[in-house]
Amino acid sequence: MTPLASRETPQGPLRILRDDDQAPEVPIEPGELARMYRTMLLARNLDDRLIRLQRQGRISFHIGSLGEEAAIVGSAAAMLPADWIWPCYREFAAALYRGMPLEAYLDNMFGNADDPSRGRQMPDHWTGRAWNVGSVSSPVGTQIAQAPGMAWAAKRRGDDVAVLVYFGEGATSEGDFHVGLNFAGVFKAPCIFFCRNNGWAISVPASRQTASKSIAVKATAYGVAGVQVDGNDVLAVHRAVREARERCRRGEGATLIEALTYRLGPHSTSDDPRGYRKEEEVEPWRAADPLPRFRRYLEQRGLWSDADEERVTAEIESEIRAAIEVAERKGPPPLESLFDDVYARRPWHLEEQYREALRLREEG
C-alpha cells in the first residue's frame, strides 16, 4: 500500500500488487516481465551514473526518474509498436524500452555530433522518430496539446495508432492541459493522457495545483475516461494503459490516467529538495520503492533470482560504461549543421551566413 491516501479517489487507485507483493498471474509474457524489470533497473543505474557525470562537469544537466520507474516503464510496455509516445523529460526509460539504443540517448546527454538535436537542446531533451518517440520540450505541457492532434490525424487516416503523452501534475495547471483534454474529448482522439503525479512540481506541492480531489476526476469535465492507478505498481500501470489502449482501438476515445507516485530525488541536478520538503515525508516512499516491489513479485513467481540480479546489474554497468566512452569521444556537431533544419531549402540570407561562417572557421 502506498502512503498517498491524501491524493486518492474515494474508491482508491487501481492496484494489482498486494502489500506482500503477491499478485495473481497477469497476461504478460514472462520474458516481457523480465524486460520491464531490467529496463527499470537500467534507468535506476543510469540515473546514478549521470548525476555523477554532471557533478564531474562532463555533462551539464540531468533530470532523473528515481522512484517513478514503474509508472514510466509499465505504461510504455503497454503500448503497441506502431503507437507514438510524447514524453515530458523523465521518460528516457520509455524510449529505451521501445528500442532507442543507450548510445543514442547518451549522444543527446553530451550534445555530440550524433545528437539528433544537433546540440541545440539541453541534455535530456532527446527525440527518436525511428522509435515513434516525439521530442522533449522545456516549456511545460506543450506536448499535451500536440499529442491529441497527432492521434486525431491517425484516426482520420484510418490508422490503428494511439498516442501516449506524459506530463506531471504541475502541467495540469497549464492551458495546454485543458486544450488537449477538451480536443480529445470532442473528437474522440485515440490518446492516452498519462499524468505522473509525483507530489512535487519542482518545489510546489501537488496540493497547490488543484482543489479537486484528484487529477483523474478532471476527466469527467472533458468527456473522457478517468483512471487513477498506483504508480509504483508496474503491473497496475500496465493494465490501466493497456485497457485505455483497447478503448482507443474500439473508437471510444481518450483516457486520462493519474499515476500516484513520488519523486524520491531532486527535480534535477540543479535542485536541492531539502530546501522545501522534509525527509520524513520521503521515507514512507522509500519503503514503497517500485523496484524491490516488482523484484519480489518476480522472485515469488520464479522469474528472477539473486543470480539474475547480479548478472544483469553487471551487464547494465558494462553497457553504460561502454556507451559513455563512445558518446563522450565523439566531437561536437559540425558548424554547418547550425544552418540546417530551418528551411527545406536554405534562403539566400542563410546561405550567405553559412558561407561566412565557413570562411571564418577556415581562417581560424
Q: What is the mean pLDDT of the chain?
A: 94
CA distance 28 to 75: 13
Using the predicted structure, report yes or no on whether residue 112 has a pLDDT greater than 70.
yes
Residue pair 319/312 in contact (Cβ under 8 Å)? The answer is: no
CA distance 112 to 329: 9
User: pLDDT at position 12, please?
Assistant: 76
The reply to whether 161 and 19 lie within a common domain is yes
* Residue from 13, 36, 16, 34 nearest 25 by CA: 16
354 catalytic residue (yes or no):
no
* 74: confidence class by pLDDT, cuts 50, 70, 90: very high
Percent of the chain past pLDDT 70, that is, above it, reads 97
Q: Give me the catalytic one of 263, 293, 295, 297.
A: 263
Residue pair 130/114 in contact (Cβ under 8 Å)? The answer is: no
User: pLDDT at position 11, please?
Assistant: 62
Using the predicted structure, report yes or no on whether residue 141 has a pLDDT greater than 70.
yes
Which residues of 206-244 form beta strands (DSSP E)?
225-230
User: pLDDT at position 23, please?
Assistant: 75
CA distance 123 to 244: 31
The reply to whether 342 and 255 lie within a common domain is no
Q: Is the dihedral of CA 53, 55, 60, 66 positive or negative?
A: positive
CA distance 226 to 246: 14
249 catalytic residue (yes or no):
no
263 catalytic residue (yes or no):
yes
- Between 80 and 6, the more confident residue is 80
Radius of gyration for the alpha carbons in the chain, expressed in angstroms and rounded: 21
> What residues make up the domain containing 341?
336-364
Q: Give me the catalytic one of 196, 247, 267, 295.
A: 267
User: pLDDT at position 288, please?
Assistant: 94
User: pLDDT at position 2, please?
Assistant: 46
User: pLDDT at position 45, please?
Assistant: 98
- Copy the grid coordinates of residue 123: 541534455
The reply to whether 298 and 358 lie within a common domain is no
Distances, alpha carbon 307 to alpha carbons 41, 270, 318, in Å: 15, 37, 17
Name the domain count of the chain.
2
* 4: confidence class by pLDDT, cuts 50, 70, 90: low
Using the predicted structure, report yes or no on whether residue 5 has a pLDDT greater than 60.
no
The reply to whether 200 and 275 lie within a common domain is yes
Residue pair 328/109 in contact (Cβ under 8 Å)? The answer is: no
The reply to whether 329 and 340 lie within a common domain is no
The reply to whether 209 and 352 lie within a common domain is no
Phi, psi of 305 (to 5 degrees): -145, 170
CA distance 313 to 41: 8
pLDDT digits (tens, 9 = 90+) for 249-305: 999 999 999 999 999 999 999 999 999 999 999 999 999 999 999 999 999 999 999
Q: Give me the catalytic one of 276, 286, 311, 355.
A: 276
The reply to whether 144 and 217 lie within a common domain is yes
pLDDT digits (tens, 9 = 90+) for 309-337: 999 999 999 999 999 999 999 999 988 88
Using the predicted structure, report yes or no on whether residue 164 has a pLDDT greater than 60.
yes
- Copy the grid coordinates of residue 256: 486520462
* Residue from 325, 185, 152 nearest 255 by CA: 185
- DSSP H or E stretch at residue 157: helix 142-157
User: pLDDT at position 24, please?
Assistant: 82
Phi, psi of 15 (to 5 degrees): -135, 145
The reply to whether 317 and 356 lie within a common domain is no
CATH number, domain of 173, equals 3.40.50.970
Mean of the pLDDT values across residues 346-353?
A: 94
Residue pair 289/262 in contact (Cβ under 8 Å)? The answer is: no
The reply to whether 293 and 352 lie within a common domain is no
Which residues of 10-99 form beta strands (DSSP E)?
84-86
CA distance 154 to 173: 27
Interacting residues of 131 by C-beta distance below 8 A, sequence separation 6+: 95, 98, 99, 100
CA distance 118 to 287: 41
* 3: confidence class by pLDDT, cuts 50, 70, 90: low
pLDDT digits (tens, 9 = 90+) for 8-65: 555 679 999 988 777 788 999 999 999 999 999 999 999 999 999 999 999 999 999 9
Phi, psi of 259 (to 5 degrees): -100, 115
Distances, alpha carbon 48 to alpha carbons 11, 71, 266, 286, 353, in Å: 36, 19, 12, 16, 42
Cα–chain center distance at 199: 16
Interacting residues of 335 by C-beta distance below 8 A, sequence separation 6+: 357, 358, 361
The residue with cell 506502431 is 82
Interacting residues of 315 by C-beta distance below 8 A, sequence separation 6+: none
The reply to whether 52 and 105 lie within a common domain is yes
User: pLDDT at position 336, please?
Assistant: 86
pTM of the model: 0.93
Q: Is the dihedral of CA 78, 299, 26, 224 positive or negative?
A: negative
The reply to whether 305 and 347 lie within a common domain is no
User: pLDDT at position 340, please?
Assistant: 87
Mean of the pLDDT values across residues 214-222?
A: 97
User: pLDDT at position 1, please?
Assistant: 39
The reply to whether 14 and 154 lie within a common domain is yes
